Each structure stands twice: as C-alpha cells, then as structure tokens.
Structure 1
C-alpha cells in the first residue's frame, strides 16, 4: 500500500492506495490540533497499522525542486521526506504542491463533479487553470500535458473600487505587502469583514449570517466574490486559459450557492478590451472535496515520480 495525503492549513486528509489505484482508510484531521505533521502522521499510522511502501503527499505551500521537503504556508510545519521515511519506514515518499495535485485530479473528474458558472467555448487542447480559495489561495497550470505549480495566490492584490482600496489600505497598515490571499481566502473573508463591518467573525459565521440576509455579512460576501472573480479572470487572461478555469478549495465549495448569483462572473469578464476573450473561457467549480487526495493518487499512477 502507498500513502496519499492532502495537507492543508485547516484540514489534512490521508488515505492508502493500492497498485490499481483503489483507495481506502481515508481519515480527516484538524491540522491545528497537531504541533507537527509528524505527530499527525503517527496518529494515522496507529489507526491503519499497515505496511506502507512509498507515497505522495500534496502540501499547501511551495515544495522544494526535488519534491522532498516543504513548508506549509499557513502552519508552522516543516515536512522532510527523508526524516519521515527514517522514522516510520515508509519507503520513498514525494511531495507535490496541493494545487498541482488538484490539477492531476482534473483529468479524472466526472461531469457531475463540476458545476459551470460560465459555459464559454472550451478548447480541449488549451491551457487549463486550476485555482481556489481555502485557508490560502492556491493555483496551478496545466499546459500541454505538463502540470506547473504556482504561488499565484501571493501576487499583489489589485483593488477595483473605493471599497477595495479601503480594504487594501487597512491591510497594508496591518501586514505591509497586500497579497491576493489576504483578501481571497477564508482568513481573507475574515479580514474583509473586520475592515468593512468592524467586527471579528470567522468565515463560517459570516456565510451563515449572509444566508440569513444580514446586511453587513452580505456586503462582505459580495466584496469577496467580486474580488475573487476579478483575480480568477486576471489569472485566466495571464495564461490564456482557453481550456477552462477550474475552481477548487474549501471556501469555494462552501460558497457554491452564492458564486453564481454574486458579482463573481461579471468581475471575471470585466477585462476592458479583452472582455470578449475571457467570456469564451469556461469556468467550473469542482465539487469533489477529495480532489486533492485523488490528485495525489493520480500523480502516483501517472509515473510522474519515476
């Protein structure tokens, strides 16, 4: 059996996969409950008690060029494959970026695992863009069969209007450099609400209040969706994603009922002289919550690490 994982700032999913690609022993962990990934993995291995011969772990953060170490962006976790192998006797383990894993999983998605916000005019051979809001803001590119990891979520945030400039100024005073992730993520939604409504709420509470038509939460959600759409459209334009844009991430999936009726699509397409170009780009939400885990398994099956 081989180990697969999707390691994120909020949750970590681990499972085992056999040589035929069949997975089992899936477990979900709250990442913040463990001081290190090693501690979390030890808890998992006590549960499954099965010999493991290698694996692939998807990590929410930049991965070293050799695929053997990584720092989780939104946790104080360092992951070192050599140390994991020596401590747990795992065989050869490789790491990939979490959105590179999502990209690996895109090819195997069924139509019922996607909901289109914009049908567009798909070009099967075109570049595909995978991005999404969760604890952070992830991104990867599929071009000519190659999967290119990206830290595009950490580009500078581009305000669209006075409300977003107000947000930018407050974030700049607090953090210094203002990245897209500071706005377009679970913590980003919380930042927005603190600045616009003057109260501290977590993202789940903001969404719950918005669904009860509470005005301040509705405003936060609309600013969030508009900023998200603008960023996605900018990135689609940057890579000419004629093959489509695929939105993943926990926040994205929780927001699915709102994305289609918010300003997301309008902001995605609001690209001045290139508006017609981006209107032809399909935009879909990936609804499979295990897409990163399945992508890690697909990376193993593809022979990407051989």
Structure 2
C-alpha cells in the first residue's frame, strides 16, 4: 500500500525541517507496522520566503519528499486541492495535514489502521483545544453551531486533517466549483467514515496564517457555499415586515378614524432606518451569492503550477 501525505505551505520556512522530521518518523512507523510506503508532498502556495528552496533541498536529501510550487498564492483550500489532484494517482490513500504541527502527525498511524479496517474517509478531530485562547475556543464553538444552523454538514472540531481513499479523492475531484470549502464537500461523498481523536498542540514555530478577519471570511464562505438558508431567512424577514406593516397601517387608519392622529416622527424615523438597514443587509447577502455565481461561471483555473520537485 502507498500513502501520500499532502501538506499545503505558505511561508513555513521556519517549521518545515521539524515537520519533515516528524512526518518521516510516521512514515517509518507505517512501514514497520503496516507495510505502508508513505511519501510527503509539500504544496508551496506562492510563499515569499525560503519555503520552496527548502522543499527542493529536502526532496534532494530524501526520495520520500516531493514538492509542487504554485505560481501565486491561491489560498489554502486551492493549494490543498492541487495536492489532492497530484496525489490521487500516487497511491492508495491520501492524508492532508497543515505544516504548523498543531495537528498531531502520529494520528496518521491510527487513520491508516482505520483505513485498513475499511473506512474510505477518516477524520482527524481535535479532542482538546486547551492550547487555543478562550476567545478562539468560544468563536470556534459559535462558528460550528452557526454553520449547522445554516444547513452546513461538517464534523465538529475537524479542520482539513483527514485520510481519504483513492476512490474518495477521485469522487471529490469531480466537484466543479471554484468556491471551495473542502471539509463540507467531503461530507457529501457518502463513503464509509470513521474518526480519530487527538490533542491539538501549539504552533511549533512561525505565525498563524489565519487572523480573525480571515477566519471570519472563511466561516462566511463555508456558510454561503453550502446553504441557501440565509436567502430563506431574508424571505422570512420580508414576510414579517409585511405583517408588521399591515398592523401599523391598521393602527394608523384606526387612529385617523378616531381623530387621535399624532405626528409620529420618532416612529417614522425608526421604521425608515430599521427597514433601510434590513434592505441593505439583504442586498449584501444576495450580492455575496451573486458574486459566487460570477466566480463559478468564469471557469478560471483554481491554481497554476509553476514547477515541481521529486515527482
């Protein structure tokens, strides 16, 4: 059996030596315990530091290491997709993991065991987030709950650390969309699934590539890529406003008929501002969906490969 470990990278020069060391230890254990040949495939997502030159050097030092360099920063999801496209023909299964070592590489061994037992998709799920700040833990909890409320089907506390069989990866690659939310797409495949739990560690070195603004943007992409419920909420709010306006009209006509009319500037201003804000919010949400349609219909390539090494 052959296994490919796909590792998207963006400005990860300071951590790649340690990442490679730990993943090669996992590869050695897989070979000794399960006769599984494992390779590492780094995807350089347009890094501006020495990430690519280091990947080239690592590939020259060990044949189990290879690399793919994208011509520009396409984003984590597109870099991961590029790795899956290249890895699908390299072996029987693919593991995706980030380079920062917050996800325990040793969990790959347990994933491989689940695969040998018949699972096509094995999710790496964070058992503990004690290394995260209280703010990050709470916002993550809110995010997962909100995504489920909006109709998104994702595994709680799972990011993009998973093992997929070759047939599962091939099925995933049939999805044509450019607005990628891979952890949501994987749940729609329908193959046999299993779970491996691990404790999330602190980042080994370097800085997080997901500040709050980017996390919020990714969360919004996840909701709008997998659910039309926000549009339905707009419809429901519109109907509520119509019912409220009918009530206000009846009240106003009754007051007029009884001769108790009041200037009502305060209520008028509040109504105008409230309804105006609601309309602008609705237009923004609709615009987000229209923007996604715009990206899809252009059919631009998800990424462009500049060069490779060790492949």
Compute the TM-score of the two structures, normalised by the length of structure 2. 0.27
Structure possessing the higher radius of gyration over alpha carbons: 2
Higher helix share goes to which structure?
A: 2
Compute the TM-score of the two structures, normalised by the length of structure 1. 0.28
Higher strand share goes to which structure?
A: 1
